[in-house]
Amino acid sequence: MLNYLTKRTARVFVTIWAVATLSFGLIRLLPGGPFTQLRIQLLRQGLPAEQVEERIRNLQNIRPDAPLWQQYLDYMGALVQGNLGVSIRLDEPVVEVVANAAPWTIFVVTVSTILVFAIGISIGALQAYWEGSRFDKFFTGLSMGALSVPFYVLAVILLFIFAYNLGWFPTSGRYDHSIENVWSLAYLVSVLRHAALPIAAYSLGAAGGQALAMRGNSIQVLGEDYVEVARLRGLSDSRIATRYVGRNAILPMYTGFLLLLGFRLGGTIILEQIFTYQGLGLRLFQALNQNDYPLMMGTFLVITVVLVLGVYVADLTYSRIDPRISQGDEGEAY
Amino acid sequence: MKVKRTEDDPSAETRTDGGSGQFDWRGETTTQISRWDRYKEIYEERIYKPALVAWDDSRTRWGSLILLFYVLIALVALLDLWRFPATSQAARWMQPWPWGSLAYPLGTTKSGTDLAALLIHSTPYILILVTAGAIWATGIAVFVGTVSGYKGGTVDSVLMSVSDFFMAIPGLPLVIVLAVAFSPENPVFVGVIITINYWAGLGRSLRSQVLTIRENNYVEAARTMGTSTPRIIFKDVLPNLMPYVTVNAVFAARYTIFASVGLYFLGVLPYKIQNWGVTLNLAYNSAALFNVDYAYYLIIPMLAIMLLSFGFILLGQGLDRVFNPRVRTRMAGETESTVEDDDEDTGFTEVM
């Protein structure tokens, strides 16, 4: 177990390092490279030519005239110290911009992911329990229908109906700016009201997918011999449902959960743009449109770090539930 | 020279391939069958029976019909049977058919473009993009999954570290950065970029299946006989995975539609023909969002996306049944035994 923990923790650092290196390389792929665009912008802002190089260095922690390996070391060195450079458009340190945006994205993604699994698992389990019933058929159809609606289409539909036409929910933003006191109930309500539509749009389709997966797993587990034995032993139905069927049906969904988390964090870039919800995704999108490379790479890096940490926590929890994981499944090499 | 074995020639079974009529003492050719028969058998086992099972399921039937419908629409575009979209080709904001004119059955946009023409002429592009994405993602996943699962050892750990790395990067942001870097217009290239890290999860679940398959007796026998690794993977491992791979290729196709249309909607991908995503974006930014009368402008491109992905989901769910060998033989009318099993779980969750 301890060995597994060390290995797993080491992998977190290796992954973050690899992604940082990738982001260093990606800046160089972008049209005009990291400096051309910036140089033009700074000159246009009326900055004297000799100060331009100095500014670029401050903004991106990179000396443009240094050799590539020197630039790489400078970039990584600054990252280790928590310095992501300065946003060109906002003229603020990237770290501050990101720190302001990240909690909102994490809030939306976490709540919607919990909802996805809560809804998916309970409906899927009931469907398996009443397999072949009208309830089962109805929800199978509904799940398949929900799966074919992309979340951004659902987002636009919800926005059209509930925000623009009925006016029940706000059309954009994270909270009501007229509320001064952050610790008041009114503030909390306005936060929830602003997040309701993005969360709903982000949860419904994915919940359909999880319900189908849970239904399939549960039906398979219900046919196992140990469930039959448990019945013969006279165990109560609720105990069989939770301990025997539920647990074994949920465990295989774990890998899917990890994948889902990654795609969901990435998907916020579309979701937040539709609702103008000022989180990491919207920041990344704006930075991209404005050629704000430091902010762009900073948000990209932070989204990845959030994902890596999320998967790390999930992995450790899972290895507590299912001991087979931490023992490793190293096979013989052929 | 090949010997043709026919029903009315019972002696054919014991003929030598020399055709001289001598008795075959070594019995070498008793199991030899003509190429025609082999193809026929492959056709029976690989295409006819699975197709029969698949077709029996109404989901597959509807799924295939929907996809066929899109292919036909693409043909209409390729054969130029419908007018090309252009601004001000008709009056602005014309309602779709029952309320508007039949000449413009889906109505016209804010700038007076025929909405039907917009959808029809971007269908070939979308279909190529989706196919490219699905083939690329499943191809890489199959390669990584089989090689890493079968070889084990160092190859396994290297390949799995690579796919872990790709799983650790949130898909869309990377795709968007790459899209800005390369600004791809070729649909095949767009499909490849969009699924740049989709293969990782599928590769992992294929690997765990290969880990079970490689312990089978016949794989072990092939290995003891000194069969080369690529041959074992192609002949013994891959056929077992094919149903699973087919189902997941369909899911990959669905992911490619969602992601590509989403990115066109965001406006980060360059385009020549206004496709569904671009149309949706224009509708989103027009008065359609505030005005119920103009809502068709939003709804119609949405329906185009949803119907296509619904077709893929139906097909994927229906193809699932091809998994089950018992259902398959029963359907082909060879045995009348066994209860019908329910669809099995595919094990790989759909994302987005």
pLDDT in tens, B238-261: 877 877 788 888 888 988 988 888
Asked if B258 reaches chain A (Cβ–Cβ under 8 Å), the answer is yes
Mean pLDDT of chain A, nearest integer: 81
Which pair of tokens denotes residue B110? Answer: 């804010």
Do A219 and A119 share a domain, yes or no?
Answer: yes
Is A233 contained in some domain? yes
Spell out which residues of chain A touch residue B224, defining contact as CB-CB under 8 Å. Answer: none
- Domain for residue A14, yes or no? yes
Q: Do A300 and B258 touch (CB under 8 A)?
A: no
Model confidence band, residue B343 (pLDDT cutoffs 50, 70, 90): very low
Phi-psi category of residue B32: left, alpha or beta, with phi > 0 → left and psi -120 to 50 → alpha: beta
Sign of CA dihedral B77, B78, B82, B88: positive
Regarding whether A112 and A30 lie in a shared domain, the answer is no
CA atoms of B119 and B123, how far apart (whole Å): 6
Cα separation of B201 and B349, whole Å? Answer: 9
Domain segments of chain B as ranges = 56-329
Instruction: Give, as one character, the DSSP assignment of residue B21.
Output: -
Collect all residues of chain B within an 8 Å Cβ-Cβ radius of residue A269.
172-173, 176, 266
pLDDT in tens, B282-331: 888 887 777 777 888 888 888 888 899 899 888 887 776 665 444 445 55
Q: How far apart are CA A230 and CA B225, in angstroms?
A: 46
Say if A89 falls within a structural domain. Answer: no
Q: Is residue A155 part of a domain?
A: yes
Between residues 74 and 133 of chain B, which touch chain A (CB distance below 8 Å)? none
The model's confidence at residue B135, banded by pLDDT at 50, 70 and 90, is very high
A324 in a structural domain: no
| Model-level ipTM above the cut of 0.85 | no
Report the alpha-carbon distance of residue A269 to residue A284 in Å, rounded: 7
Q: H/E/C letters for each residue in A278-325?
A: CCHHHHHHHHHHCCCHHHHHHHHHHHHHHHHHHHHHHHHHHHHHCCHH
| The pTM of the whole model exceeds 0.90 | no
Q: For residue A259, is pLDDT > 50? A: yes
Residue A272 CA to residue A151 CA, distance in Å, equals: 12
Closest CA to B254 of B171, B191, B183: B191
Instruction: Note whether B288 and B299 are within 8 A (CB).
Output: no
Domain span at residue A284 reads 103-290
CATH number of the domain encompassing residue A205: 1.10.3720.10
Q: CA torsion sign, A13 to A19 to A24 to A25?
A: positive
Count of domains forming chain A:
2
Selecting from A131, A213, A296 the residue whose C-beta is nearest the C-beta of B345 gives A213
Using one digit for the tens of pLDDT, what is the confidence trace for A219-248? 878 878 888 888 888 888 888 888 888 888
pLDDT score at B27: 52
Select from B181, B214, B347 the Cβ nearest to the Cβ of A26. Answer: B181
B177: chain A residues, CB-CB within 8 Å: 26, 29-30, 288, 296, 300
Q: Could you tell me if A135 and A216 lie in one domain?
A: yes
Residues A221 and A110 occupy one common structural domain: yes
pLDDT tens for residues B14-62? 444 444 455 555 555 555 667 788 788 877 777 777 677 777 778 888 8
Nearest to B170 among A147, A288, A304 (CB): A304
Please tell me if residue B290 touches chain A, with a CB cutoff of 8 Å: yes
Q: Are residues A76 and A107 in the same domain?
A: no
Inform me whether the C-beta atom of residue B317 falls under 8 Å from chain A C-beta atoms. yes
Query: Which CATH class name applies to B56-329?
Result: mainly alpha
* Maximum separation of any 2 CA atoms in chain A, in Å: 86
Interface test with B, best of A17, A169, A259 (most B CBs within 10 A): A259
Mapping DSSP to helix (H, G, I), strand (E, B) and coil, where does residue A234 land?
coil
Residues 6 or more apart whose Cβ sits within 8 Å of residue A186: A176, A179
Q: What mean pLDDT value characterizes chain B?
A: 77
Size of interface A-B (CB pairs under 8 A): 182
Furthest CA-CA distance within chain B: 88
Q: Which of A26, A206, A334 sits opposite B150 (nearest CB)?
A: A334
